[in-house]
Structure 1
């Protein structure tokens, strides 16, 4: 269920697991669409995906792509992605999974990667996304 208040639209997507905590998974104000940090929740089970940082990155990006039609955005609208990881030593694996989506045919967004000590649900990767609709 999407809700609107003061020009702010909170968007839900049934294509991905619902949030486990109280927050808006996606908020739009004008042309700006902000997607909250996503961890690698399996769409079928709602559990954290197994397989480490690369596998988690693949699930996050797959979930994002499933939700993008509900958020009314495309990869061309993606302005910046912020990656948080507890496994900075596995950055090459995370980047390899990233490059499976952001190939030479896709202009990649700006990106920041930050090493952290812990993430929700024991995840090793969390990514948040900022879009600007064209």
Structure 2
């Protein structure tokens, strides 16, 4: 059994709270929920709309996975959080599903929440597994 490894990557988005980008143990990798912030311009305004924010969040998850020599094909489960669930759920689903082949979509839970850090409309965390 390998003890946990705590990963914080310079290439990743600037953390909005005290956390690691990912924690890994025994081949399991838990990625912290990503916000729709731009890693190259962390103080820039967030993208407008749930579709653009979902793309940015997924791209941020891809950055963290890449730093771990993984990709979205290694993701087994996602938890998604929306501040405007009823308004944004359909548009979120359309954008989210474009990142995964139809026959390899992770298990997923989507929850409506009252607020997210940095005023985001969407946040996604995930669990991946090394081959």
TM over 0.5, shorter chain: yes
Partner of 1:107 in structure 2?
104
Answer yes or no: is 1:66 the counterpart of 2:63: yes
In the other structure, the counterpart of 2:93 is 95
Number of aligned positions between the proteins = 128
> Is the 8 Å Cα contact of residues 16 and 117 (structure 2) preserved in structure 1?
no
> What is the RMSD of the two structures over their aligned residues, measured on CA atoms?
1.6
CA contact (8 A) 2:12 2:21 kept: no
Q: Does 1:45 align with 2:41?
A: yes
TM-score, length-normalised on structure 2? 0.89
Segments of 5+ residues of structure 2 without an aligned counterpart are none
Indicate which of 18, 22, 37 corresponds to 2:14: 18
Q: TM-score, normalised by structure 1?
A: 0.87
Tell me which residue corresponds to 2:82.
Answer: 85
Q: Distance in 2 between matches of 1:40 and 1:77?
A: 21
